[in-house]
Structure 1
Amino acid sequence: MAHDNHAHHDGHGVGGESHGSVKSYLVGFLLAAVLTIIPFWAVMKGGLPTFTTGVIIIVAAILQIFVHLIFFLHLDRSSAQRWNVSAAAFTVVVIGIIVAGTLWVMHNMNVHMMH
Protein backbone atom coordinates (compact mmCIF):
# COMPACT_ATOMS: atom_id res chain seq x y z
CA MET A 1 0.00 0.00 0.00
CA ALA A 2 1.71 3.17 -1.19
CA HIS A 3 1.25 6.43 0.70
CA ASP A 4 0.71 9.59 -1.36
CA ASN A 5 2.86 12.34 0.16
CA HIS A 6 1.35 15.00 -2.10
CA ALA A 7 -2.20 14.69 -0.80
CA HIS A 8 -2.21 17.85 1.33
CA HIS A 9 0.30 20.06 -0.47
CA ASP A 10 -1.96 21.54 -3.13
CA GLY A 11 -3.11 24.60 -1.19
CA HIS A 12 -6.26 22.86 -0.03
CA GLY A 13 -6.97 21.46 3.36
CA VAL A 14 -8.94 18.39 4.29
CA GLY A 15 -12.32 18.38 2.55
CA GLY A 16 -11.20 20.63 -0.31
CA GLU A 17 -11.36 23.96 1.50
CA SER A 18 -8.69 26.44 0.42
CA HIS A 19 -6.85 28.79 2.70
CA GLY A 20 -5.70 32.27 1.75
CA SER A 21 -2.29 33.77 2.15
CA VAL A 22 -1.48 36.72 4.38
CA LYS A 23 -1.30 38.90 1.25
CA SER A 24 -4.79 37.75 0.21
CA TYR A 25 -6.20 38.59 3.64
CA LEU A 26 -4.50 42.00 3.66
CA VAL A 27 -5.84 42.86 0.21
CA GLY A 28 -9.31 41.75 1.31
CA PHE A 29 -9.05 43.79 4.50
CA LEU A 30 -7.96 46.92 2.63
CA LEU A 31 -10.75 46.56 0.07
CA ALA A 32 -13.29 45.98 2.83
CA ALA A 33 -12.03 49.04 4.72
CA VAL A 34 -12.21 51.25 1.61
CA LEU A 35 -15.69 49.95 0.82
CA THR A 36 -16.74 50.86 4.36
CA ILE A 37 -15.13 54.30 4.36
CA ILE A 38 -16.62 55.43 1.01
CA PRO A 39 -20.31 55.22 2.04
CA PHE A 40 -19.46 56.56 5.50
CA TRP A 41 -17.82 59.57 3.85
CA ALA A 42 -20.80 60.02 1.49
CA VAL A 43 -23.21 60.13 4.43
CA MET A 44 -21.03 62.31 6.67
CA LYS A 45 -20.27 64.82 3.91
CA GLY A 46 -23.97 65.43 3.50
CA GLY A 47 -23.66 67.50 0.30
CA LEU A 48 -24.67 64.74 -2.10
CA PRO A 49 -28.27 64.20 -3.20
CA THR A 50 -30.13 61.52 -1.25
CA PHE A 51 -30.48 59.28 -4.32
CA THR A 52 -26.75 59.47 -5.08
CA THR A 53 -25.88 58.67 -1.47
CA GLY A 54 -28.23 55.68 -1.57
CA VAL A 55 -26.67 54.40 -4.79
CA ILE A 56 -23.17 54.74 -3.29
CA ILE A 57 -24.24 52.78 -0.21
CA ILE A 58 -25.90 50.02 -2.23
CA VAL A 59 -23.01 49.64 -4.70
CA ALA A 60 -20.45 49.60 -1.87
CA ALA A 61 -22.53 46.98 -0.01
CA ILE A 62 -22.73 44.71 -3.05
CA LEU A 63 -19.00 45.04 -3.69
CA GLN A 64 -18.36 44.40 0.01
CA ILE A 65 -20.28 41.10 -0.27
CA PHE A 66 -18.08 39.99 -3.17
CA VAL A 67 -14.89 41.01 -1.34
CA HIS A 68 -15.89 38.92 1.67
CA LEU A 69 -16.93 35.93 -0.44
CA ILE A 70 -13.70 35.95 -2.47
CA PHE A 71 -11.01 37.06 -0.02
CA PHE A 72 -12.31 35.68 3.29
CA LEU A 73 -14.59 32.77 2.39
CA HIS A 74 -12.41 31.82 -0.61
CA LEU A 75 -15.29 31.15 -2.98
CA ASP A 76 -14.08 30.87 -6.55
CA ARG A 77 -14.92 28.99 -9.74
CA SER A 78 -12.84 25.92 -8.94
CA SER A 79 -14.54 22.53 -8.98
CA ALA A 80 -13.93 22.16 -5.25
CA GLN A 81 -15.96 25.30 -4.56
CA ARG A 82 -18.75 24.66 -7.08
CA TRP A 83 -21.22 23.36 -4.47
CA ASN A 84 -20.45 26.24 -2.11
CA VAL A 85 -21.02 28.78 -4.88
CA SER A 86 -24.26 27.03 -5.87
CA ALA A 87 -25.45 27.04 -2.26
CA ALA A 88 -24.58 30.73 -1.92
CA ALA A 89 -26.43 31.58 -5.16
CA PHE A 90 -29.47 29.61 -4.01
CA THR A 91 -29.40 31.44 -0.67
CA VAL A 92 -29.27 34.81 -2.44
CA VAL A 93 -32.26 33.84 -4.61
CA VAL A 94 -34.30 32.67 -1.61
CA ILE A 95 -33.48 35.82 0.39
CA GLY A 96 -34.37 37.94 -2.66
CA ILE A 97 -37.74 36.21 -2.95
CA ILE A 98 -38.42 36.69 0.76
CA VAL A 99 -37.45 40.38 0.69
CA ALA A 100 -39.39 41.10 -2.52
CA GLY A 101 -42.45 39.24 -1.21
CA THR A 102 -42.31 41.08 2.10
CA LEU A 103 -42.04 44.46 0.38
CA TRP A 104 -44.92 43.57 -1.94
CA VAL A 105 -47.16 42.46 0.94
CA MET A 106 -46.31 45.54 3.02
CA HIS A 107 -46.95 47.85 0.07
CA ASN A 108 -50.32 46.24 -0.63
CA MET A 109 -51.28 46.41 3.04
CA ASN A 110 -50.32 50.08 3.13
CA VAL A 111 -52.33 50.87 -0.01
CA HIS A 112 -55.43 49.00 1.19
CA MET A 113 -55.32 50.28 4.79
CA MET A 114 -55.18 53.93 3.74
CA HIS A 115 -58.56 53.83 1.93
Structure 2
Amino acid sequence: MKSTSIFVLFFVVAVAFCAVGTVKKPLLDVANMPVNYPNCVPDEYGTPSIPCPGPPKKADSEWPCVRYVDLCNMRIDCPNGEDESVQLCFYHNAVRKAHIQRLYQRIDNLRGL
Protein backbone atom coordinates (compact mmCIF):
# COMPACT_ATOMS: atom_id res chain seq x y z
CA MET A 1 0.00 0.00 0.00
CA LYS A 2 2.82 2.38 0.88
CA SER A 3 4.69 1.69 -2.39
CA THR A 4 1.53 2.45 -4.37
CA SER A 5 1.13 5.85 -2.73
CA ILE A 6 4.82 6.64 -3.35
CA PHE A 7 4.37 5.75 -7.02
CA VAL A 8 1.25 7.93 -7.27
CA LEU A 9 3.10 10.82 -5.61
CA PHE A 10 6.04 10.40 -8.00
CA PHE A 11 3.66 10.29 -10.98
CA VAL A 12 1.83 13.45 -9.87
CA VAL A 13 5.12 15.31 -9.38
CA ALA A 14 6.38 14.19 -12.80
CA VAL A 15 3.17 15.34 -14.48
CA ALA A 16 3.34 18.66 -12.64
CA PHE A 17 6.91 19.27 -13.83
CA CYS A 18 5.90 18.50 -17.41
CA ALA A 19 2.89 20.80 -17.15
CA VAL A 20 4.91 23.83 -16.07
CA GLY A 21 7.67 23.21 -18.60
CA THR A 22 10.59 22.59 -16.26
CA VAL A 23 11.62 19.39 -18.02
CA LYS A 24 14.70 20.06 -20.15
CA LYS A 25 13.91 17.62 -22.99
CA PRO A 26 10.27 16.67 -23.40
CA LEU A 27 9.58 13.40 -25.14
CA LEU A 28 7.83 14.97 -28.11
CA ASP A 29 9.69 18.22 -28.77
CA VAL A 30 8.39 18.92 -32.26
CA ALA A 31 9.21 22.62 -32.10
CA ASN A 32 12.86 21.91 -32.95
CA MET A 33 12.20 19.55 -35.86
CA PRO A 34 13.38 20.91 -39.22
CA VAL A 35 10.53 21.42 -41.65
CA ASN A 36 10.72 22.56 -45.25
CA TYR A 37 7.45 24.40 -45.72
CA PRO A 38 6.01 24.03 -49.20
CA ASN A 39 6.04 26.98 -51.52
CA CYS A 40 3.78 25.86 -54.36
CA VAL A 41 3.51 28.36 -57.17
CA PRO A 42 1.23 28.16 -60.21
CA ASP A 43 2.76 26.91 -63.43
CA GLU A 44 3.32 29.10 -66.50
CA TYR A 45 -0.37 28.77 -67.44
CA GLY A 46 -1.61 29.83 -63.99
CA THR A 47 -2.67 26.33 -62.91
CA PRO A 48 -2.55 26.26 -59.09
CA SER A 49 -0.39 23.72 -57.28
CA ILE A 50 -0.82 22.28 -53.81
CA PRO A 51 1.65 20.48 -51.53
CA CYS A 52 1.81 16.71 -51.83
CA PRO A 53 0.20 15.07 -48.79
CA GLY A 54 3.37 13.29 -47.71
CA PRO A 55 6.87 14.56 -47.02
CA PRO A 56 9.65 14.39 -49.59
CA LYS A 57 11.66 11.17 -49.81
CA LYS A 58 14.89 12.96 -48.85
CA ALA A 59 14.89 15.02 -45.67
CA ASP A 60 16.95 17.85 -47.18
CA SER A 61 14.87 18.29 -50.33
CA GLU A 62 11.99 20.69 -50.81
CA TRP A 63 8.43 19.58 -50.19
CA PRO A 64 6.99 18.47 -53.55
CA CYS A 65 3.95 20.11 -55.12
CA VAL A 66 1.33 18.72 -57.45
CA ARG A 67 -0.96 20.63 -59.77
CA TYR A 68 -4.56 20.57 -58.57
CA VAL A 69 -5.71 19.17 -61.92
CA ASP A 70 -3.29 16.25 -61.52
CA LEU A 71 -4.88 14.97 -58.30
CA CYS A 72 -6.62 11.61 -58.71
CA ASN A 73 -5.86 11.31 -62.42
CA MET A 74 -4.59 7.71 -62.13
CA ARG A 75 -0.98 8.86 -62.54
CA ILE A 76 1.37 9.15 -59.59
CA ASP A 77 2.63 12.72 -59.38
CA CYS A 78 3.77 12.89 -55.74
CA PRO A 79 6.94 11.00 -54.76
CA ASN A 80 5.11 8.67 -52.38
CA GLY A 81 2.00 8.32 -54.56
CA GLU A 82 -0.43 9.85 -52.06
CA ASP A 83 -2.05 11.97 -54.75
CA GLU A 84 -3.75 8.75 -55.92
CA SER A 85 -4.70 7.37 -52.49
CA VAL A 86 -8.22 6.04 -52.02
CA GLN A 87 -8.97 8.41 -49.11
CA LEU A 88 -7.77 11.55 -50.87
CA CYS A 89 -9.47 10.68 -54.14
CA PHE A 90 -12.75 9.82 -52.44
CA TYR A 91 -12.92 13.33 -50.98
CA HIS A 92 -11.41 15.07 -54.01
CA ASN A 93 -13.76 13.42 -56.50
CA ALA A 94 -16.80 14.22 -54.34
CA VAL A 95 -15.78 17.89 -54.16
CA ARG A 96 -15.01 17.95 -57.87
CA LYS A 97 -18.43 16.44 -58.65
CA ALA A 98 -20.17 19.04 -56.46
CA HIS A 99 -18.32 21.87 -58.26
CA ILE A 100 -19.29 20.47 -61.66
CA GLN A 101 -22.94 20.18 -60.61
CA ARG A 102 -22.90 23.81 -59.46
CA LEU A 103 -21.42 24.87 -62.79
CA TYR A 104 -24.16 23.02 -64.67
CA GLN A 105 -26.79 24.70 -62.49
CA ARG A 106 -25.32 28.13 -63.19
CA ILE A 107 -25.22 27.42 -66.91
CA ASP A 108 -28.86 26.32 -66.79
CA ASN A 109 -29.75 29.51 -64.88
CA LEU A 110 -28.01 31.62 -67.52
CA ARG A 111 -29.90 29.83 -70.26
CA GLY A 112 -33.15 30.38 -68.39
CA LEU A 113 -33.93 26.71 -67.87
Q: Identify whether the pair has TM-score above 0.5, normalized to the shorter chain.
A: no
Rg larger in structure = 2
Q: Which has the higher helix share?
A: 1
- TM-score grouping bracket, smaller chain normalisation: 0.3 to 0.5
TM-score (norm 2): 0.39
Q: Which has the higher strand share?
A: 2
